[in-house]
Amino acid sequence: MTLEWEKLFAGRVSGMSASEIRELLKLIDRPEIISFAGGIPDADHFPSAAIARAYEKVFQSNTGAGGALQYTISEGYTPLRDWLCGYMDRKGVKIAPDEVLITSGSQQALDFLGKLLIGPGDLVAVTKPTYLGALQAFSPYEPTYVSIAMDEEGPVLADLEAALARKPKFLYLVPDFQNPNGTTVSPARREAIVDLCTKAGVPVIEDAAYAELRYEGDFLPSLAAIDAARNGGVPSQVIHCGSFSKTMVPALRVGWVSGPKDVIQRLVLMKQAADLHTSTINQIVLHDVVSEIFDSHVKRLRTVYKERRDTMLAALEEFMPAGVTWTKPQGGMFVWIELPEGLCGTELLARAIKESNVAFVPGAAFFPDRSGRNTIRLSFSATKPERIREGIRRLADLLVRVSA
């Protein structure tokens, strides 16, 4: 007798589908393809030498490498949590080491927060579009999404108020250079969001994955900082998720979540039950590297990625036919394209791969309601400037043919 596994799966995963992004990434791994698909950092600009030295130091230490290779506490490596307290303090948020948990990338923080807060049928407020990985993290816990339209300043307040009136479990937001559309929430809108959510008693999950990658203008206070400023410097309403994947390297799988102690304490228990702790040696190495080079390395990355953003925006200006519009992100990794009404991003991708050797991500994947059919996401971070220009030229040529 063969087991009918499908019948044994719990309801919470029945709606899970393969990530379009990851499935796509499998198809486009050919050198002739110019890919704007993955939202990944450029491996050529990783701080490899500093990381190599840090691993070496672990094994040369007088006390031996034993501790770095052993189990550790679920909360995370204490010196790294201390460093994060200093980092967050510089950003206007006072947290104690027991108000931050080290996670295996900020993706894990999103999974844990879904597990902590979402019961089946609970409402969760997100923008449209929003980060696909957040939808993937939350969806197994069976929420119903209420989605909030965006303009160039962020979530539209009338929509936010309407959403909050329905008492969602939380609002999830990427305020800086949002994945996928590159939008940055304006200072006034940030204040208003914290206001409205505080009044409504609705927590905010702030995903700050890209916040360090600003290429122009002033750094804006995080929602966590605005929340803290109103609450004696400490977090009250906002749970803040951060990542070293974009500023350092993804492969160590180190991120963090900070927020009110009641929340972090629960997340620590959840971490223990889920995977005990994040890799000990990777936390030690990352702490060593960020202590030495965080500011200088991020500064260098900003120069590298700014050139790529500028190149992409200039190429779009130069090549794109009328009727195609795009965002002008102040930072991050993404430009968001709106195609003429009636065109479909997914159909365009199939032709782009086949006819033009160009790849990107269709925008519909980033809408919980799968609207946004005529949008596509382009990432400029992992592509060299000359290839960016060539890729945009090819894509524009295809769009001219498609629209003809």
**Nearest approach, Cβ of residue 291 and its own copies (Å):** 18
Binding positions for its own copies, 67-106, rule CB under 8 A: 67-74, 103-105
Q: Is residue 43 part of the contact set for its own copies (CB under 8 A)?
A: yes
Q: Is residue 133 part of the contact set for its own copies (CB under 8 A)?
A: yes
Nearer to its own copies, 198 or 222 (CB): 198
Q: Is residue 116 part of the contact set for its own copies (CB under 8 A)?
A: yes
Nearer to its own copies, 40 or 402 (CB): 40
Q: Is residue 149 part of the contact set for its own copies (CB under 8 A)?
A: no
- Judged by CB under 8 A, the residue of 228, 281, 320, 365 near its own copies is 281
Q: Is residue 230 part of the contact set for its own copies (CB under 8 A)?
A: no
The answer to whether 129 and 327 have CB atoms below 8 angstroms apart is no
Neighbours of 382 (CB within 10 A): 20
Q: Quickly list DSSP for 135-169.
A: HHHHGGG--EEEEEEEETTEE-HHHHHHHHHT--S
Q: Is residue 276 part of the contact set for its own copies (CB under 8 A)?
A: yes
Nearer to its own copies, 137 or 192 (CB): 137
Q: Which stretch binds its own copies (CB under 8 A): 91-99, 129-137, 154-162, 173-181?
A: 129-137
- Judged by CB under 8 A, the residue of 37, 249, 333, 399 near its own copies is 249
Nearer to its own copies, 19 or 403 (CB): 19
**Nearest approach, Cβ of residue 138 and its own copies (Å):** 9
Of 376, 396, 354, nearest to 30 (Cα)?
Answer: 354
The dihedrals phi and psi of 48, each to the nearest 5 degrees, come to -60, -40
Q: Is residue 251 part of the contact set for its own copies (CB under 8 A)?
A: yes
Nearer to its own copies, 86 or 121 (CB): 121
- Judged by CB under 8 A, the residue of 178, 183, 222, 237 near its own copies is 237
Query: Measured between alpha carbons, how far is residue 327 from residues 201, 347, 376 in Å?
Result: 32, 22, 11
Q: Which residue has the tokens 């929003």?
A: 130
**Nearest approach, Cβ of residue 260 and its own copies (Å):** 6
The dihedral region occupied by 333, where left means phi > 0, alpha psi between -120 and 50, and beta the remainder, is: alpha
Q: Is residue 9 part of the contact set for its own copies (CB under 8 A)?
A: yes
Alpha carbons 248 and 47: distance in angstroms, whole number:
7
Q: Is residue 336 part of the contact set for its own copies (CB under 8 A)?
A: no
Neighbours of 87 (CB within 10 A): 17
Q: Residue 160 corresponds to which tokens in the numbers above?
A: 């936010």
Nearer to its own copies, 113 or 315 (CB): 113
Q: Residue 287 corresponds to which tokens in the numbers above?
A: 């702490």
**Nearest approach, Cβ of residue 111 and its own copies (Å):** 5
Alpha carbons 344 and 373: distance in angstroms, whole number:
5
**What is the H or E stretch that residue 98 is in?**
none
- Judged by CB under 8 A, the residue of 139, 330, 374, 381 near its own copies is 139
Q: Is residue 262 part of the contact set for its own copies (CB under 8 A)?
A: yes
Q: Which residue has the tokens 């809108």?
A: 189
Q: Is the N-terminal amide bond of 180 cis, ω within 30° of 0?
A: yes
